[in-house]
Amino acid sequence: MNNQPSSKKFLAWFNPLGRQPGSWAFILSRITALGLTFYLFLHLVVLGRLAQGPQAYQEFLALAESPIVKLGELAVIAAVIYHGLNGIRIILTSFGIGVAHQQRLFYASVALALAGTVFFGIRLFGG
């Protein structure tokens, strides 16, 4: 019979239609988590290149100036701030602290993540 719980339904996690802010927080945490894991992998690859000597590192620095990479770094910044703050929200609520304010805490995490993104965006791309 269908309509049963199934591990394949994890994709349903990413469907925010008709859902509450708590679900959005849940979804964004997972997406940022996946994103940051991928970033960590990339970071290790880069460090690997460092180990190959100054020539390889210079090549990397040249690449790092390109707008696409900078955009990627901005995405990482947004993800880190959001994921970190929402993580704190989850830690707090998990201990029964601030449960009544969980939606506000989520909005605050998003707002701070956006603010941080704008700030670092200006620094990365501005003169």
Q: Which residues bind other proteins (CB under 8 A)?
A: 1-7, 9-10, 12-13, 17-23, 25-26, 89-90, 93-96, 99-100, 102-103
Between 75 and 90, whose beta carbon lies closer to other proteins?
Answer: 90
Residue with tokens 């993800």: 79
Q: How far is the CB of 107 from other proteins (least distance, A)?
A: 13
* Angle of the 21-50 helix axis to the 102-125 helix axis, nearest 10: 40
Between 13 and 38, whose beta carbon lies closer to other proteins?
Answer: 13
Q: Rounded to whole angstroms, how far apart are CA atoms 82 and 126?
A: 23
Q: How far is the CB of 96 from other proteins (least distance, A)?
A: 4
Between 93 and 121, whose beta carbon lies closer to other proteins?
Answer: 93
- Structure tokens that stand for 55 in this block: 């020539």
CA-to-CA dists, residue 120 to 12, 83, 125, angstroms: 33, 17, 8
Cα 93–74–102 angle (5° rounding)? 15
Q: How far is the CB of 80 from other proteins (least distance, A)?
A: 19
The SS3 of residue 88 is: helix
Q: How far is the CB of 98 from other proteins (least distance, A)?
A: 9
Between 9 and 123, whose beta carbon lies closer to other proteins?
Answer: 9
